Structure 1
Amino acid sequence: MKSKTINFEQVKELFRSSTFIPFLMIWITHGIGGWGISFVLPTVIYELGISNTAISQVMTMPPFTLVFVILLSLAFLVHTRRLSPWVAGLGLEAAQIVCYVLLITVKHPIAKYIFVMIATAASQSFFAIIWPERIRAAKGTTTAGLAIGLTNASCQLMGIVGPQIYQPKFGPSYRISYSCSIGLLCGTLLSVSSAWFFVSKEDKKDASANSGSDATPEEQTDNQKAVEYTD
């Protein structure tokens, strides 16, 4: 069946793609395990002995300022091809896991605030770094549109499941919550590694196919750069 608005062959291609499940799992596991840390921030600020509402609001600013700094720095390195987005994504996930482990063991309020700040910044920087690779892996208009929709839909689980993991009954230590997040983020690490492998494999396949076809020199150069970028 052919249509000007939707191509069912591209729909089938999306679900057959080796990158579909890894990317879907990235958004599900990171969405639930990574973003839940934002529920802990008010408790950590209260443990610092700050009860004034105005000061408490000010104390929420450093974590999100750090998001801005980390995201701009990584975006610059990725854009100038000094750093692979996959390496950046794995680094952010690893940093979160380390922070969660330390939050389980450390009891000092200031140290907990610092680790929550770093974990929050890393979690909110991750999707923006990996998102271009998700779009690049979706070939075709229908494929890209459906991939975007399914990815965003799966990410909504963070608003459904996330609050359940970080329920007030698990506080103020939130050890159970942190442990659940560590498990989910380990799943994210595996999913990112799998997606990186399959995307790199597809890039090499496309570059090999174009080298023996009538592709323009510009297209061949772009494919070669994509292969070098994902290796």
Structure 2
Amino acid sequence: MVLSFGKEAISSSSSLGEDSSTTENGKFPPITTTELTALEDLSQDLRSNSKARAAFLATFSAKEEKSIMRKVDMRFCLLIGLMFIIKNIDFGNIGIIKTMQAGHPSNILKELGFSSNQYNWVATIQGIPYIIFELPSNLVLKWMTPHAWESRIFLTWGIVTACCGAVNTKGQLLALRFLVGMFEAGMFPGVITTLSYWYRTDEIGRAMVWFFTISNLSTIIGSLICYGASFMDGLQTLSGWRWAFILEGVATILFAGVIFLVLPDFPKSPRSSTWLSPREQQFLEARLPPNAPATADPSWNTKEAWIAFTSPATWAFLLDQTLMNLGNYALSWYLPTIIAGLGFAKLPNSLLLNIPPAAAGIGAIFICLLITSRAWAPRPFLCICTVMGTIICFILFFTVSSRGSLYAACVLSQFFMASYYVPYWSWRTSIMSGSTGASFAIGLQSSIAQLGSTVGPQIFQSKWAYNRYKNSFIIGTAITLGALATNLWTWWLTKDIERRVLEVRRSTLKGRKEGKAYQGVDDIDVLGDDKIKNRSWW
């Protein structure tokens, strides 16, 4: 296969203008080192030359773009959803496991000698290593490549999770949960960072909706796992909660192999040439905004890291996620206990009552996706609406007393909390620069934001049980009010960029109706636009 690359190739139908490199079975031969280098050289030309970029993108129709992005979606969407669902099951089931065989000798609290307050530390101690290891883990991602690093994460944390089923003391469980957090650190920011190499900020919500929709199934699947494990109580002399840990751990270990084989790295990685033609690989990077990370970027760039660290927007977004995580983790941790205590059904059937709140969250996520993908409203506006809805739910928890009203609050809280992160991460990815800048900003943010998983479970102290944890819910309300204030501040900082994102998105949708993949408008550039730099985050 002979390919001619260079500036003149942009309009050449014999090279990048037409794709004639497919074989009879529809697969592509492996790309050579020379061809990969030529593609990277051309990428740098397009990233620095807006006219060349526009000319190249103009050779693609909306139908071609849809076909290429469908391939990308098929590689990412289901896989990253399954990755997050396993992560959420691992964390969320800690709260559900607490309720298994409640009142019986095989309950985890009685078997290991935990008090209710002491058991809160099982979740808290898992969050501590996140704070330490999220950032360095994300900085290693580019060098190690996503498929290798993420599969390592799943393999090691799966082994330790399975080992939790063999503990005999409180100290052993706490030590293993610390190791789970340490080995799991970097999974979530790694996925967000990887997606920023493949998707534009105005369309990343499409991938994120799979991420969060499937992850919301974690409550449903996690409840079913614990429900099934409760019937295994005594099997092979093991308690039901031990079987729950073992089943989760084994599933995580097996899934590590799937990630290693399937998860893509970057658009122009050799791994991608097995399912994308050279022209398609070039298109995927050329269509991204100029500040987006690229395959050819170095693994470390000190200037990009410093820009990310000193940007007010980095810290504003960090506060947004940290405060929302505090409220979300606190409520998610205690929600199974609230539902079990309503008395609608006895154990283990009461575990199934965790499913409707999760289903409500899934519905809300699709509503947010529809609004953001059509550019009907600014993404910060959606975030603020979901924060306000969460505040109302926290108020309901300490003002209503009937069982039906409390359960309705449980459902509504998940409706609003689950839907926050789809517009939020789409909004967040518009303010990043380069591979190092993206890795540093997302890693730093995820690291500190894990205070939510560390501190959140401690909000529900047994000393406040006398008034149905009214004090805990008041604290949750105050935290979420803080999140409302920081989201408003972040919107003000990024208002110019958000306006440009909406303009470009609407122009793109208009162009697609006319059969064009590229409309010819100037793209969002947080580095090159002086107006944006001077008036918002720079």
Shorter-chain TM-score range: 0.7 to 0.9
Question: Cα offset for 1:222?
Answer: 5.2
Q: Distance in 2 between matches of 1:16 and 1:187?
A: 22
State the shift of 1:61 in Å: 0.1
Aligned residue identity for 1:220: D
- Name the CA shift for 1:219/1:10 in 2 (closer, same or farther; >3 Å): farther
2:393 counterpart letter in structure 1: C
Q: Deviation at 1:154?
A: 2.0
Q: What one-letter code is carried by the residue in structure 2 that aligns with 1:88? A: L
**Greater RCO (Cα-Cα under 8 Å, separation 6 or more):** 1
Distance, in Å, in 1 between the alignment partners of 2:421 and 2:367 is 15
**In structure 2, do the counterparts of structure 1 residues 16 and 202 end up closer, same or farther at CA, with 3 Å as the change threshold?**
farther
- Residue type of the partner of 2:400? V
Structure 1 position 44, deviation (Å) = 2.7
Distance 1:192 1:63 in 2: 25
Q: Secondary structure at the match of 1:19?
A: helix
| Inter-partner Cα distance in structure 2 for 1:7 and 1:72 | 37
How far the C-alpha of 1:42 sits from its partner, in A, is 2.7
Cα distance in 2 for partners of 1:112, 1:161 equals 24
Residue 387 of structure 2 aligns with which residue?
93
Which of 315, 318, 340 in structure 2 is aligned with 1:21? Answer: 315
Q: Judge conservation of contact 1:37–1:120 (CA < 8 Å) in 2.
A: no
Match among 167, 171, 175 for residue 470 of structure 2: 175
- Distance change in 2, residues 1:138/1:221 (3 Å): closer
Could you report, residue by residue, the CA deviation over 1:147-188 in whole angstroms, capped at 9, with x for unpaired residues?
Answer: 111122123212210111023332361111111111111111
Check whether the contact 2:329–2:457 (CA below 8 A) recurs between aligned residues. no
- Summarize the Cα distance change of 1:204–1:53 in structure 2 as closer, same or farther, 3 Å threshold: closer
**Corresponding position of 1:199:** 494
- In structure 2, the CA distance between the partners of 1:204 and 1:51, relative to structure 1 (3 Å rule), is closer
Q: Secondary structure at the match of 2:348?
A: helix
Structure 1 residue aligned with 2:298: 4
Aligned to 2:351: 57
TM-score (norm 2): 0.37
1:188 aligns to 2:490 (yes or no)? no
Query: How far 1:89 moved relative to its partner?
Result: 0.7
TM-score (norm 1): 0.83
For the Cα contact (< 8 Å) 2:299–2:435, is it kept in 1?
Answer: no
Gap regions ≥5 residues in structure 2: 1-296, 502-517, 526-531, 533-538
Q: Alpha-carbon deviation of 1:51? A: 4.6
1:23, CA displacement in angstroms? 0.5
CA distance in 1, matches of 2:426, 2:368: 13
Q: How far apart, CA to CA, are the structure 2 residues paired with 1:139 and 1:185?
A: 29
AA of the residue aligned to 2:522? Q
Percent identical pairs in the alignment equals: 22
Matched residue, 2:520: 218
Q: Deviations over 1:199-227 (max 9, x none)?
A: 12456799xxxxxxxxx97351557xxx9
Alignment of 1:149-168 (within 5 A): 149-168=443-462
Name the SS for the 1:81 alignment partner. coil
| Structure showing greater Rg | 2
8 Å contact from structure 1 (residues 96, 123) kept in 2: yes
For this pair of structures, how many residues does the alignment match? Answer: 213
The counterpart of 1:82, out of the listed 352, 373, 376, is 376
The letter for the 1-side match of 2:325 is G
- The match for 1:35 among 329, 340, 344 is 329
SS of corresponding position for 1:82: coil
Structure 1 unmatched ranges of 5 or more = 207-215
2:468 alignment partner AA = S
Distance 2:483 2:434 in 1: 26
**1:193 is aligned with what amino acid?**
L
Spell out, residue by residue over 1:28-52, the C-alpha distance to the aligned partner (whole angstroms, 9 max, x if none).
1111123311233233323432352
- Return the offset for 1:5: 2.0
Match of 1:145 in 2: 439
Query: Aligned partner of 2:353: which letter?
Result: M
Separation of aligned partners in 2, 1:140 and 1:67: 33
Q: Secondary structure at the match of 2:343?
A: coil
Q: Which residue of 2 aligns with 1:126?
A: 420
Q: 1:44 aligns with which of 334, 338, 350?
A: 338
Amino acid aligned to 1:106: V
Q: Which has the higher helix share?
A: 1
Rounded to whole Å, the distance in 1 between the matches of 2:323 and 2:373 is 26
RMSD: 2.4
